[in-house]
């Protein structure tokens, strides 16, 4: 048997050679850093490396919980994560259902293009556009001026940070988010609609009883994935919308890890923060997966 296996490998050797660069890449850029997470339980020193730095158990996690910044940063992260799930996540689903109702192809294409474009702009650019939009002589203040309101520097105001975060996310990514749902909708058998129409079902009832139920599994899968990334709000996004004046509401685990871990080189402490974030994400997916399985038999990710 072994000889045959060896012979097969010899025959197909180019396949193994092809896979080497990819395997090496995954090990270096994914698996070594994943394993490197052990430094959360060590006092990492640059000279001793991942392996030889001394173990300190949960010391950094204890510091983390007692840290005065922690409650604020963690609270901000939870808040933005919750907003993301409740306000941002449903928008592409609704948009996709609506876009699907438009039967004029040219109009549909135009709308889709307009909604996709912002997704291709980096968060730096989106930040730049927003800073311009909300500047003292920007469009936002011109418009509120028409209604006689005083100018505000919205990007520098804590009260505006969360609304801007939500609207900017919807603006940039909701259109793009419809692509997945549109793909799922396009796979629906048209005969379902035809027979529904013969039975006299209105457009609205067709959405409610055909399109939406068929879309639901896709929505559930994406929702679970989203929950897994519950605390992962996107570094680029928050960093580029943040100003020193909005730290109190906008500083999140990601930006905090960047400042403490990379700028101030508190490697082990910041890794503990990162690990904490991943563990919460995992617990959330696990819990909601169980819940969704209870609701429907074939629901859930696994």
Partner 1 sequence: MPESRGEKVFVTGITVFLILFSIIAIIPLLSVIATSFSSKSAVDMNLVTLWPKQFTLDSWMYIIDRPDLWKSFFLTLGSTVIGTVLALLMTALFAYPLSKPEFRWGSVIMVGVVIAMIFKAPIVPYFLTVRSIGLYDNPLVLIVPHILNPFNLIIMRTFFKQFSKDLEEAALLEGCGYFRMLFQFVLPLSKAVLATLALFYGVVLWNQFQHPLFFLQDTNLFPLQIKIRQFITDDNVIMAGAASTADLNYNERTLRAATVIFAIIPIILVYPFLQKYFVKGAMIGSVKG
Region 116-135 residues binding partner 1, contact defined as CB under 8 A:
116-118, 120-125, 127-133, 135
In this structure, are residues 123 and 179 in contact, taking their beta carbons and an 8 Å threshold? no
Does 137 help bind partner 1 (rule: CB under 8 A)? yes
Q: Cβ contacts of residue 34 below 8 Å, gap of 6+?
A: none
Does 41 help bind partner 1 (rule: CB under 8 A)? no
For 226-245, the DSSP string reads: HHHTTT---HHHHHHH--GG
Piece in contact with partner 1 (CB under 8 A), picked from 55-63, 77-85, 178-186, 286-294: 178-186
Query: To the nearest whole angstrom, how small is the minimum distance from the Cβ of residue 51 to partner 1?
Result: 12
Query: Which run of H or E residues covers position 267?
Result: helix 267-295
Give the separation between CA 41 and CA 55, rounded to whole angstroms: 6
Piece in contact with partner 1 (CB under 8 A), picked from 64-72, 78-86, 256-264, 287-295: 256-264
Query: To the nearest whole angstrom, how small is the minimum distance from the Cβ of residue 291 to partner 1?
Result: 19
Tokens describing residue 246: 């909005």
Among 78, 83, 87, 111, binds partner 1 (CB under 8 A): 111
Does 21 help bind partner 1 (rule: CB under 8 A)? yes
Does 283 help bind partner 1 (rule: CB under 8 A)? no
In this structure, are residues 230 and 284 in contact, taking their beta carbons and an 8 Å threshold? yes
Q: Is the dihedral of CA 96, 219, 83, 228 positive or negative?
A: negative
- For partner 1, the binding residues in 201-240 under the rule CB under 8 A are 202-204, 218, 228, 232, 235-236, 239-240
Nearer to partner 1 among residue 83 and residue 111 (C-beta): 111
Size of the site for partner 1 (CB under 8 A): 96
Give the separation between CA 86 and CA 83, rounded to whole angstroms: 5
Among 80, 93, 184, 210, binds partner 1 (CB under 8 A): 184
Does 154 help bind partner 1 (rule: CB under 8 A)? no
Q: Cβ contacts of residue 223 below 8 Å, gap of 6+?
A: 85, 89, 288
Q: Cβ contacts of residue 240 below 8 Å, gap of 6+?
A: 123, 124, 126, 127
Among 257, 284, 288, 300, binds partner 1 (CB under 8 A): 257
Angle between helices 212-228 and 267-295 (to 10 degrees): 150
Q: How many CB atoms lie within 10 A of CB 109?
A: 11
Does 79 help bind partner 1 (rule: CB under 8 A)? no
Piece in contact with partner 1 (CB under 8 A), picked from 70-78, 81-89, 269-277, 287-295: 269-277
Piece in contact with partner 1 (CB under 8 A), picked from 42-50, 56-64, 82-90, 156-164: 42-50
């Amino acid at each position: 048997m072994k000889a045959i296996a060896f012979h097969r490998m010899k025959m197909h050797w180019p396949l193994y050679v092809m896979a080497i660069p990819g395997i090496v890449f995954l090990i270096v850029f994914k698996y070594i850093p994943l394993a490197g997470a052990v430094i959360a339980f060590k006092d990492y020193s640059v000279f001793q490396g991942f392996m030889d730095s001394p173990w300190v158990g949960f010391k950094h996690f204890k510091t983390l919980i007692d840290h005065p910044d922690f409650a604020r940063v963690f609270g901000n992260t939870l808040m933005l994560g919750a907003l993301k799930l409740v306000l941002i996540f449903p928008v592409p689903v609704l948009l996709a259902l609506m876009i699907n109702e438009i039967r004029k192809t040219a109009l549909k294409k135009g709308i889709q293009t307009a909604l996709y474009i912002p997704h291709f702009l980096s968060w730096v650019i989106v930040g730049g556009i927003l800073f311009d939009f909300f500047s003292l002589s920007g469009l936002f203040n011109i418009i509120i001026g028409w209604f006689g309101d005083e100018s505000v520097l919205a990007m520098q105001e804590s009260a505006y940070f969360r609304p801007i975060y939500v609207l900017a996310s919807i603006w940039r990514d909701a259109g793009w988010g419809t692509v997945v749902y549109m793909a799922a909708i396009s796979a629906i058998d048209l005969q379902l609609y035809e027979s529904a129409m013969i039975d006299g079902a209105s457009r609205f009832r067709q959405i409610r009883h055909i399109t939406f139920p068929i879309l639901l599994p896709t929505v559930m899968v994406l929702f679970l994935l989203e929950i897994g990334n519950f605390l992962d709000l996107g570094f680029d996004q928050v960093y580029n919308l943040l100003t020193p004046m909005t730290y109190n509401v906008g500083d999140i685990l990601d930006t905090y890890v960047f400042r403490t871990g990379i700028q101030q080189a508190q490697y082990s402490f910041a890794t503990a923060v990162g690990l904490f974030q991943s563990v919460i994400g995992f617990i959330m997916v696990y819990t909601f997966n169980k819940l969704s399985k209870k609701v429907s038999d074939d629901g859930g990710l696994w």
